[in-house]
């Protein structure tokens, strides 16, 4: 897939996306990332990209024209029509389900705002979707764009090695949180690895993991269970987890 990022700091995005799974996805040609700087499309000696807001108040607003020209250049760089996303705290919250949909598209353009944001007329005319990565305010859309890039890159076919399979990730198994994971040593001053994980009984291990995923979701994000479509077996596993949790001293799951 191709992702074009419109940002006053395109190098920042390139840096963020240069490591680990995303860096490898680029090396494997599963992801082509291109940065576009609106300042390169601004007029005058000062190459101005922002101006004071109408109506007064603090901060600056990103101007229509440099963004429009920059978006046009980005669009024209490839024949595939892009889906244009503006990263903003006013956008729809990013979820794993949304990430899956975005990852299936051939081309995205990510528009990163700075200052107080982007002139609303540009947003209304050029943007297909507004996305927020959480209910907090960042100083620009770049970190949010890097989050989107990471989340969609790792879902590209061939981006993850077998050992990194995405199918067990939190939110991937029916929208539940992931179960806890352990590695060597089995015995440590910080505690023992649960015996079932060392039993070699694959059915029992799968049952334990499912129960832990259900239990953690119930403890930490109970609202996710409403959408999870639990089977009768799931309900029984969760009930047993609850019973046990009620009998033991509360501790972090």
Q: Is there a catalytic annotation at residue 216?
A: no
DSSP β-ladder status, 191-192 and 187-188: antiparallel
Is 132 among the residues that bind ligand ADE (CB under 6 A)?
Answer: yes
Phi, psi for residue 123 in degrees, rounded to 5 = -60, -45
Of 8 and 214, the one with the shorter C-beta distance to ligand ADE is 8
* Torsion-angle region of 108 (φ positive above 0: left; ψ -120 to 50: alpha; else: beta): beta
Of 87 and 214, the one with the shorter C-beta distance to ligand ADE is 87
Q: Is there a catalytic annotation at residue 207?
A: no
Q: Cβ 88 to ligand ADE, closest distance in Å?
A: 5
Whether 135 has a binding-site annotation, put simply, is: yes
Which residue among the candidates 130, 169, 174, 178 is catalytic per the annotation? 169
Whether 149 has a binding-site annotation, put simply, is: no
Is 134 among the residues that bind ligand ADE (CB under 6 A)?
Answer: yes
> In the set 16, 87, 103, 179, which binds ligand ADE (CB under 6 A)?
87
**Could you give the CA distance from residue 88 to residue 134 in angstroms, rounded to a whole number?**
9
The piece of 4-12, 17-25, 85-93, 190-198 that touches ligand ADE (CB under 6 A) is 85-93
> In the set 89, 156, 219, 228, which binds ligand ADE (CB under 6 A)?
89
**Could you give the CA distance from residue 186 to residue 6 in angstroms, rounded to a whole number?**
48
Q: Cβ 89 to ligand ADE, closest distance in Å?
A: 4
| Omega of the bond leading into 98 within 30 degrees of 0 (cis) | no
Of 102 and 144, the one with the shorter C-beta distance to ligand ADE is 144
Q: Which long-range contacts (CB under 8 A, 24 or more apart) does 158-167 make?
A: 158/28, 158/30, 159/21, 159/24, 159/25, 159/28, 159/30, 159/31, 160/21, 164/21
Is 116 among the residues that bind ligand ADE (CB under 6 A)?
Answer: no
Is 124 among the residues that bind ligand ADE (CB under 6 A)?
Answer: no
> In the set 144, 146, 173, 238, which binds ligand ADE (CB under 6 A)?
144
Whether 13 has a binding-site annotation, put simply, is: no
Strands in 106-204 per DSSP E = 107-112, 129-132, 187-188, 191-192
Q: Is there a catalytic annotation at residue 169?
A: yes
Cβ-based neighbours of 35, under 8 Å, separated by 6 or more: 4, 5, 7, 10, 11, 13, 14
Is 185 among the residues that bind ligand ADE (CB under 6 A)?
Answer: no
Contact (CB, 8 A) for 63 and 86:
no
Q: Applying CB under 6 A, which residues contact ligand ADE? A: 87-89, 132-134, 136-138, 141, 144
- For the annotated catalytic residues, the residue numbers are 89, 116, 154, 169
Tell me the binding residues: 113, 133-138
Tell me the binding residues for S-adenosyl-L-methionine: 113, 133-138
């Amino acid at each position: 897939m191709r992702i074009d990022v419109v940002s006053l700091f395109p190098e920042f995005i390139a840096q963020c996306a240069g490591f680990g799974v995303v860096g490898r996805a680029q090396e494997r040609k599963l992801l082509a990332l291109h940065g576009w700087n609106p300042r390169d499309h601004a007029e005058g000696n000062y190459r101005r990209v922002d101006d004071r807001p109408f109506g007064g108040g603090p901060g600056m607003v990103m101007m229509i024209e440099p963004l429009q020209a920059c978006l046009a250049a980005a669009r024209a760089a490839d024949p595939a029509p892009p889906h244009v996303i503006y990263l903003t705290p006013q956008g729809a919250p990013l979820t794993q389900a949304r990430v899956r949909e975005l990852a299936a598209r051939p081309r995205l353009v990510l528009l990163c705002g700075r200052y107080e944001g982007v002139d609303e007329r540009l947003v209304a005319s050029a943007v297909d979707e507004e996305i927020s990565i959480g209910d907090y305010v960042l100083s620009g859309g770049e970190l949010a764009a890097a989050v989107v890039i990471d989340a969609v890159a790792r879902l590209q076919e061939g981006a993850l090695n077998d050992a990194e399979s995405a199918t067990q990730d939190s939110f991937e198994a029916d929208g539940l949180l992931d179960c806890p994971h352990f590695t060597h040593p089995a015995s440590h001053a910080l505690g023992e690895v649960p015996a079932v994980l060392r039993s070699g009984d694959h059915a029992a291990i799968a049952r334990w993991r499912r129960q832990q995923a259900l239990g953690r979701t119930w403890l930490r994000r109970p609202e996710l269970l409403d959408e999870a479509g639990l089977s009768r077996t799931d309900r029984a596993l969760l009930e047993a987890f609850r019973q046990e949790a009620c009998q033991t001293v509360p501790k972090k799951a």
